[in-house]
Amino acid sequence: MFPLLETARLRLRALTTQDTERIFQCFAHEEVIRYYGQERFQELQQAERLIELFAQSFATEKGIRWGIELKETAEIIGTIGFHNWLKAHKRAEIGYELHPDYWHKGYAQEALTEVLAYGFQKMDLTRIGAVVFIENAASSQLLLKMGFQKEGILRAYMYQHGQAHDTIIYALLKTAYEGAN
C-alpha cells in the first residue's frame, strides 16, 4: 500500500493518471528540468509514462515517488521521493522538483523533512544520498540546511542538452539525522 504523508500544508501521495497535466506542466518547464539531467517534456504521453515509471519503481521496491499536493487547492506542485533504493544496503537517493510558481515558499523543505523521516524511520535507511548539478545552488543550500554533507564531485556525471555536467554528491546518515532530531 502506497504511504500517504501529510505536513501542515502538503499531502504527499501516489500520482495517478489524473495528475498527468500537472506533471507535464512541471517537466515541460525549462526552469524545472534545467538541472534534472533530462530534456523538457514535449508531449503529455511523456508525463503519463513518468507516472507509470514511478508506480513500477514502487511496485518493484526500487524507489518511491510522491506527488506533492497543496492541501489548500488539491493540486500537484511537484514530486519528491527515493530512487536507486537498495534495501540490502539500506540506502537510497532523494530527488525532488517543484513548479517555479511554488519556489521560495518553503514547500521543498517541508516535503523533504517528512520524506527524510519516512526514509529513516519506515524504510530503515542508513544513508540517503543526493546528486546535484554544481550550478544548482538552491538545491545544494537546501540539502546542507537539512544536514546533508558534501562528499565530493562526480565529474561529467550527468548530461543535459547533450553536454556533460559535474555534480556534487551529498549524503545524510541516519546517525547524524537522529542526532539532530
**What is the tens place of the pLDDT at every residue in 87-105?**
999 999 999 999 999 999 9
* Residues of the chain above pLDDT 90, percent: 93
Q: What is the pLDDT of residue 161?
A: 87
With H, G, I as helix, E, B as strand and everything else as coil, classify residue 100. helix
Q: Which domain holds residue 113?
A: 5-180
Domain count, the chain: 1
Strands 76-86 and 64-70: antiparallel
CA–CA gap between residue 161 and residue 88 (Å, rounded): 35
Rg, C-alpha atoms of the chain: 16
The CATH number of whichever domain residue 60 belongs to comes to 3.40.630.30
**For the sheet containing 76-86, what is the strand order?**
5-6, 10-13, 64-70, 76-86, 91-98, 127-133, 163-173, 149-160
- pLDDT tens for residues 4-47? 999 999 999 999 999 999 999 999 999 999 888 889 999 999 99
Backbone angles phi, psi at 88, to 5 degrees: -60, -30
Q: Is the pTM for the entire model greater than 0.85?
A: yes
